[in-house]
């Protein structure tokens, strides 16, 4: 029932079921929806509209737009009004913009990133400026990460870090799950929707599959440390950009130093390619031990690349490949061996 259909003084007693049909509405009291539809059809139409609104809302939330940031919606696709005084934009001092946020705030008119409303590329949107800004973000990340003496220091550093634009769209920082004393470190790609909600990696469907794969090799969240390449969810679970990976990498590297694991398990192409500096596809790289090297580590760490559990959820037939990798990983880990150096 719509607001206009409701009697002002509460519900009328239903003594005469035909009364509604016979009486003519007075004043603001109208039957139907004011568009000529009788009440039953109007209710049905409204309920359909509400269902489709709810479906749209669910789609937005699923895509990562789960927070209202302004009072009113804005049509960002509408052509821009001509800027009153465009030249001022180009003189905006670089220091007024937080490091790492160059790409985050395109002008409403400039969703394609091709230039400012006045036709000139705005200084803060130019490629050169974006690069300077992401260089600054990486430098700041390195500095903050190097100062952290514990995982909790790293968490505080990430909470203070503004060099990764994903922070602005994520709900929670998602740093790690498991045990910082563990000798097995698992590195995935990026938090998904459930991880973003809970602020812990691998707690959604992929995480549950991961737990089911770890259990048969005698591992669980008490015996592993789990983290990701990125610490905030990319909107709509899109692939990470190079700038996002670069800004988060120093924090990941510092985690490796602080946790000091004996073996790494790398899940999925992004994590494998980034950490092992390889370009091949994951189906080629998986199952082959490789050394993970990093300045600041006393030795290279044996790393097993394998398929991501989210991929396995979509391609269950590939689980047998991942299972082989998990078994090989468990054998080396249990023996305390580096399979690349032991004879």
Strands 177-178 and 301-306: unpaired
The total of other beta-carbon atoms located within 10 Å of residue 250's CB is 24
Q: 292-299, long-range: CB within 8 Å, 24+ apart, which pairs?
A: 292/256, 292/264, 294/253, 294/256, 294/257, 296/253, 296/257, 297/256, 297/257
**Lookup result for tokens 């509408």:** 78
- Member of 64, 192, 240, 302 binding ligand URA (CB under 6 A): 192
244 sits near ligand URA (criterion: CB under 6 A): no
What would the x/- binding string for ligand URA be over residues 221 to 240, using CB under 6 A? -------x------------
Q: Between 62 and 147, name the residue whose CB sits nearer to ligand URA.
A: 62
Q: What are phi and psi of 280, to 5 degrees?
A: -65, 165
Q: Between 32 and 201, name the residue whose CB sits nearer to ligand URA.
A: 201
CA dist 8 and 122 (Å) reads 55
Nearest to 146 by CA among 135, 130, 162, 157: 157
206 sits near ligand URA (criterion: CB under 6 A): yes
101 sits near ligand URA (criterion: CB under 6 A): no
Token pair, residue 224, equals 């592993």
Token pair, residue 136, equals 């600054």
178 sits near ligand URA (criterion: CB under 6 A): no
Q: Between 111 and 205, name the residue whose CB sits nearer to ligand URA.
A: 205
255 sits near ligand URA (criterion: CB under 6 A): no
252 sits near ligand URA (criterion: CB under 6 A): no
Size of the site for ligand URA (CB under 6 A): 13
325 sits near ligand URA (criterion: CB under 6 A): no
Applying CB under 6 A, which part among 10-18, 94-102, 189-197, 282-290 lies near ligand URA?
189-197
CB of 170 to ligand URA, least distance (A): 12
CA dist 261 and 305 (Å) reads 16
188 sits near ligand URA (criterion: CB under 6 A): yes
Applying CB under 6 A, which part among 84-92, 163-171, 187-195, 286-294 lies near ligand URA?
187-195
Q: Between 204 and 305, name the residue whose CB sits nearer to ligand URA.
A: 204
169 sits near ligand URA (criterion: CB under 6 A): no
**Which residues of the shown chain bind ligand URA in the complex (CB under 6 A)?**
188-192, 195, 201-202, 204, 206-207, 228, 310
């Amino acid at each position: 029932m719509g607001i206009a259909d409701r009697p002002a003084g509460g519900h009328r007693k239903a003594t005469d079921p035909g009364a509604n049909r016979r009486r003519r509405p007075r004043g603001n009291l109208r039957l139907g929806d004011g568009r000529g539809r009788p009440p039953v059809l109007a209710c049905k139409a409204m309920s359909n509209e509400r269902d489709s609104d709810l479906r749209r809302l669910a789609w937005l939330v699923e895509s990562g737009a789960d927070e209202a940031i302004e009072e009113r919606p804005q049509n960002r696709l509408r052509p821009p009004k001509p800027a009153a005084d465009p030249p001022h934009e180009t003189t905006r001092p670089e220091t007024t913009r937080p490091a790492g946020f160059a790409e985050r705030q395109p002008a409403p008119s400039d969703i394609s990133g091709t230039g400012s409303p006045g036709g000139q590329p705005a200084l803060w949107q130019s490629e050169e400026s974006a690069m300077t800004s992401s260089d600054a973000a990486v430098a700041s990340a390195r500095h903050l990460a190097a100062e952290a003496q514990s995982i909790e220091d790293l968490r505080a550093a990430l909470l203070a870090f503004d060099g990764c634009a994903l922070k602005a769209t994520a709900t929670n920082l998602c740093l790690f799950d498991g045990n910082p004393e563990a000798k097995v470190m698992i590195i995935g790609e990026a938090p998904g929707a459930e991880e973003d909600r809970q602020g812990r990696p691998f707690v959604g469907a992929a995480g549950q599959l991961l737990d089911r794969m770890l259990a048969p090799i005698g591992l669980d969240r008490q015996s592993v440390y789990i983290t990701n390449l990125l610490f905030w969810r990319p909107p709509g679970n899109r692939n990470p950009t190079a700038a996002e990976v670069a800004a988060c990498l120093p924090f990941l590297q510092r985690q490796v130093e602080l946790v000091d694991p004996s073996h790494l398990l790398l899940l999925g192409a992004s994590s494998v390619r980034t950490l092992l500096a390889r370009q091949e596809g994951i189906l080629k790289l998986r199952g082959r031990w490789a050394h993970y090297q990093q300045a600041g580590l006393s030795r290279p760490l044996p790393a097993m690349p394998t398929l991501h559990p989210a991929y396995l959820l979509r391609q269950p037939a590939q689980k047998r490949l991942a299972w082989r990798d998990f078994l090989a990983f468990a054998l080396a880990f249990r023996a305390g061996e580096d399979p690349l150096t032991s004879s």
